[in-house]
């Protein structure tokens, strides 16, 4: 019986051993399957990433092609509209002047036919042209007569120097607009004219044909090439000039002088900003009040139709510069006005809704642009300043660039650079105690060699620490130079030269650490890193807030 039990125990052990072997084989098989699946997943992931990268490139190329196609279509539509307008003008518009006469129209050297201009003192060119303010010269002639008493006109000794005066010898009527004399020349077939005689308003209206001039004295970013046309502005008119055909089209939506211009990324829409305007005589009173305020108009460059009017009541004095966003396809528009604080505004283009606004610089702002790759970053430049803005949660935050001068917090850093016009500094306001700013060669791949590092430093205010580290890229770095606290003669820059031993994969870092107060800016300048052959290396900046 004991023998039978022993055999049974042996059988159980043999069975358990066999099961263990099978379990080990099953585990190995499962592991091999898992490894195979992981390999396939990694391969699929790599293929998906490559595919996504390829599709992104293809989408960018197609977006560029769409922009080119839009530009071509806009140019075709513009040419078609121009041809249709010329046909309609040749078939409908009269070629005779308003004053009818049986005598045929003649031109004499003494009294040539001229187009009235209300903003010049001299005789305009013979080519028919009117300034953008010509809309206000459409006042009926009977109004000129109503500006004075007919009795006073008949007696020359009672005529005021500011009243309309008819000169029969020259064949012109002199009136005064805003205190400035303007000569209006009559058609050559009109032999006599009386100021107090009422004349019916002409059925026809003057049409702007050609604009001479360009505004470049007090504005920038005012000349662009768009779909075969040069686009710029003069007074209150935006001119689209075709240099090949020597023709012009005009956008006349503004009520006063245009000061800035921006092209939408789709190369079709245009935004223009104007100064505070004046009343339009042919507009309703309610519309006049809104048109008098500075605003931005977004319009179609092909049809010349106004698409949006933005910022009525927001701006003061004038709009000095504006720009569309690039990264998001022009969904946002930033605008700077000419108020004392030069406020910066950001708008949603499609909705015309203001997203954010804030006070800018008190100095003149000359240009503003969205960052080409960051849709919420804006840069503006002007007299003595450059500012970097970030739009986040409906608010604009600012960082100011530093030129040759002191750090923003007074009496905490240098007042000028040690060499040239630029220097680097740690701005310790609004960051935690112990935060670090690091300048390192970690990404520069320096060759195995010893180095000589020299620079100038400036430490003023309350305690902070400036250190220099060196070592091998594969191991931790070692501190080889250190300065802490306020240094002697704190208003002066100080020179330091540090010898750095040889490492196989050398890394050199300069680290500034914030102390326990915001009054402790640390600045460095004139950095030179030399090898025995006196070669300089490029440095990279890495900001750490750990």
- Domain count for the chain: 3
**388 in the same domain as 246:** yes
What number is the average pLDDT over the span 379-389? Answer: 87
Angle at 327 between CA 378 and CA 266, to 5 degrees: 110
Flag whether pLDDT at 149 surpasses 50: no
Residue 382 within any structural domain of the chain: yes
pLDDT at 344: 93
Residue 138 within any structural domain of the chain: yes
**376 in the same domain as 228:** yes
CA 313, CA 316: separation in Å to the nearest integer?
8
pLDDT at 9: 52
Grade residue 325 by pLDDT with cuts at 50, 70 and 90: very high
Strands 494-503 and 449-459: antiparallel
pLDDT at 107: 38
pLDDT at 89: 66
Under a CB-based contact definition with an 8 Å cutoff, are residues 227 and 141 in contact? no
pLDDT at 150: 38
| Residue in this structure with the two tokens 């966003």, named with its chain if needed | 325
pLDDT at 231: 94
Residue 22 within any structural domain of the chain: no
CA 513, CA 467: separation in Å to the nearest integer?
8
**236 in the same domain as 188:** no
Q: In terms of residue numbers, what domain contains 305?
A: 223-400
Flag whether pLDDT at 544 surpasses 80: no
- b/e per residue 7-26 (b: at least 16 CB within 10 A): eeeeeeeeeeeeeeeeeeee
pLDDT at 102: 39
**362 in the same domain as 446:** no
Grade residue 270 by pLDDT with cuts at 50, 70 and 90: very high
What number is the average pLDDT over the span 39-59? Answer: 80
**176 in the same domain as 266:** no
Closest among 529, 334, 512, 302 to 428, alpha carbons compared: 512
pLDDT at 519: 67
pLDDT at 172: 86
**254 in the same domain as 158:** no
> In angstroms, what CA-CA distances link 422 with 402, 403, 412, 487, 526?
8, 6, 17, 22, 9
Residue 24 within any structural domain of the chain: no
Flag whether pLDDT at 299 surpasses 90: yes
CATH code for the domain in which residue 352 is found = 2.130.10.10
What number is the average pLDDT over the span 264-289? Answer: 71
Put residue 427 in one of left, alpha, beta given phi > 0 → left and psi -120 to 50 → alpha. beta
What number is the average pLDDT over the span 162-172? Answer: 83
Under a CB-based contact definition with an 8 Å cutoff, are residues 332 and 324 in contact? yes
Under a CB-based contact definition with an 8 Å cutoff, are residues 335 and 343 in contact? no
With residues binned 3-state (H G I as helix, E B as strand, rest as coil), the percentages for the chain, rounded to 5, are: 20, 30, 45
**263 in the same domain as 346:** yes
Strands 296-300 and 306-310: antiparallel
What number is the average pLDDT over the span 36-52? Answer: 76
Flag whether pLDDT at 7 surpasses 70: no
pLDDT at 13: 52
* pLDDT tens-place string over residues 473-491: 878 888 999 888 777 787 8
The 8-class DSSP code of residue 141 comes to H
Flag whether pLDDT at 333 surpasses 90: yes
**429 in the same domain as 396:** no
Flag whether pLDDT at 250 surpasses 90: yes
Average pLDDT of the chain, as a whole number: 75
3-state secondary structure of 37: helix
Under a CB-based contact definition with an 8 Å cutoff, are residues 413 and 425 in contact? yes
pLDDT at 404: 54
Q: Which range among 77-86, 291-300, 467-476 shows the weakest confidence by mean pLDDT?
A: 77-86
CA 60, CA 459: separation in Å to the nearest integer?
49
pLDDT at 378: 92
Sign of the dihedral through C-alpha 122, 125, 131, 134? positive
Q: pTM for this one?
A: 0.48
Residue 409 within any structural domain of the chain: no
What number is the average pLDDT over the span 191-220? Answer: 84
* pLDDT tens-place string over residues 494-519: 889 998 888 888 888 999 888 777 66
Give the best-scoring range by mean pLDDT among 128-132, 299-303, 457-461, 520-524. Answer: 299-303
Out of 174, 203, 232, a domain closes at 203
**Is pLDDT larger for residue 103 or for residue 264?**
264
Tokens describing residue 355: 């997203």
**476 in the same domain as 394:** no
| Residue in this structure with the two tokens 């089209």, named with its chain if needed | 249
Tokens describing residue 267: 């190369």
> In angstroms, what CA-CA distances link 375 with 64, 329, 366, 369, 390?
18, 9, 21, 11, 9
**Is pLDDT larger for residue 446 or for residue 294?**
294
CATH code for the domain in which residue 460 is found = 2.60.120.200
Sign of the dihedral through C-alpha 491, 436, 443, 374? negative
Out of 364, 385, 400, a domain closes at 400
pLDDT at 523: 86
Strands 522-530 and 424-426: antiparallel
Residue 85 within any structural domain of the chain: no
Grade residue 104 by pLDDT with cuts at 50, 70 and 90: very low
Flag whether pLDDT at 139 surpasses 70: no
SS (H, E, C) 509-529: EEEEECCCCCCCCEEEEEEEE
Share of the chain above pLDDT 70, in %: 70
Flag whether pLDDT at 449 surpasses 90: no
Flag whether pLDDT at 132 surpasses 50: no
Grade residue 262 by pLDDT with cuts at 50, 70 and 90: very high
Give first-to-last CA distance, the chain, whole Å. 78
Grade residue 155 by pLDDT with cuts at 50, 70 and 90: very low
SS (H, E, C) 449-500: EEEEEEEEEEECCCCCEEEEEEEECCCCCEEEEEEECCCCCCCCCEEEEEEE
**Is pLDDT larger for residue 120 or for residue 199?**
199
Q: Which range among 28-42, 130-144, 255-269 shows the weakest confidence by mean pLDDT?
A: 130-144
What number is the average pLDDT over the span 275-283? Answer: 60
Residue 281 within any structural domain of the chain: yes
**351 in the same domain as 311:** yes
Residue 536, C-beta contacts closer than 8 angstroms, at least 6 positions apart: 528, 529, 530
Residue 92: alpha-carbon gap to chain centroid:
43
CA 303, CA 132: separation in Å to the nearest integer?
19
**338 in the same domain as 231:** yes
CA 125, CA 127: separation in Å to the nearest integer?
5
Enumerate the β-bridge partners of residue 270: 263, 299
**434 in the same domain as 526:** yes
CA 523, CA 423: separation in Å to the nearest integer?
7
> In angstroms, what CA-CA distances link 92 with 100, 201, 436, 481?
18, 19, 77, 88
Grade residue 185 by pLDDT with cuts at 50, 70 and 90: confident
Residue 214 within any structural domain of the chain: no
> In angstroms, what CA-CA distances link 522 with 425, 442, 484, 510, 512?
5, 22, 10, 11, 7
């Amino acid at each position: 019986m004991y023998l039978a039990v022993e055999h049974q125990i042996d059988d159980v052990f043999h069975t358990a051993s066999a099961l263990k072997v099978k379990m080990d084989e099953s585990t190995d098989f499962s592991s091999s399957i898992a490894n195979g699946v992981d390999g396939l997943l990694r391969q699929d992931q790599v293929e998906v990433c490559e595919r996504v990268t390829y599709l992104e490139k293809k989408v960018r190329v197609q977006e560029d092609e769409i922009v080119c196609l839009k530009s071509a279509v806009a140019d075709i539509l513009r040419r078609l509209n121009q041809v249709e307008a010329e046909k309609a003008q040749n078939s409908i518009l009269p070629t005779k002047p308003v004053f009818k006469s049986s005598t045929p129209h003649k031109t004499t050297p003494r009294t040539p036919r001229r187009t009235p201009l209300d903003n010049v003192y001299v005789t305009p060119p013979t080519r028919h042209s009117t300034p953008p303010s010509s809309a206000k010269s459409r006042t009926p002639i009977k109004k000129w007569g109503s500006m004075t008493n007919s009795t006073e006109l008949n007696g020359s000794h009672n005529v005021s120097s500011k009243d309309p005066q008819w000169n029969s010898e020259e064949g012109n009527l002199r009136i005064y607009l805003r205190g400035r004399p303007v000569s209006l020349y009559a058609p050559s077939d009109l032999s006599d004219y009386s100021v107090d005689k009422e004349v019916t308003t002409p059925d026809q209206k003057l049409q702007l044909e050609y604009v001479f001039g360009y505004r470049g004295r007090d504005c920038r970013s005012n000349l662009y090439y768009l779909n075969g046309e040069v686009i710029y502005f003069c007074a209150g008119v935006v001119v689209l000039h075709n240099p090949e055909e020597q023709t012009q089209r005009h956008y006349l939506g503004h009520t006063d002088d245009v000061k800035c211009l921006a092209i939408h990324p789709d190369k079709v829409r245009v935004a223009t900003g104007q100064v505070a305007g004046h009343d339009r005589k042919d507009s309703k009173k309610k519309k006049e009040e809104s048109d008098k305020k500075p605003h931005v108009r977004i319009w179609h460059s092909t049809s010349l139709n106004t698409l949006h009017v933005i910022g009525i009541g927001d701006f003061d004095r004038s709009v000095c510069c504006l720009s569309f966003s690039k990264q998001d396809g022009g969904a946002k528009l930033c605008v700077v006005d000419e108020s004392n604080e030069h406020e910066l505004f950001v708008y949603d283009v499609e909705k015309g809704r203001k997203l954010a606004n804030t006070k800018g610089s008190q100095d003149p702002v000359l240009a503003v642009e969205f960052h080409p790759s960051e849709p919420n970053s804006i840069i503006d430049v002007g007299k003595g300043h450059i500012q970097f803005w970030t739009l986040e949660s409906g608010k604009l935050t600012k960082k100011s660039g530093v030129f040759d001068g002191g750090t923003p917090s007074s009496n905490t850093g240098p007042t000028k650079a040690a060499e040239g016009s630029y220097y680097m500094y740690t701005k310790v306001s609004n960051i935690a105690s112990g935060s670090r700013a690091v300048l390192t060669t970690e990404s520069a791949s320096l060759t195995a060699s010893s180095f000589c590092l020299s620079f100038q430093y400036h430490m003023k205010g309350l305690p902070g620490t400036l250190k220099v580290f060196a070592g091998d890229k594969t191991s931790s770095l070692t501190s080889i130079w250190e300065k802490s606290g306020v240094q002697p003669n704190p208003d002066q820059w100080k020179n330091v030269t540090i010898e750095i031993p040889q490492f196989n994969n050398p890394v050199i870092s300069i680290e500034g650490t914030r102390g326990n107060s915001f009054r402790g800016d640390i600045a460095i300048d004139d950095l030179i890193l030399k090898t025995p052959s006196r070669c300089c290396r490029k440095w990279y900046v890495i900001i750490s807030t750990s």
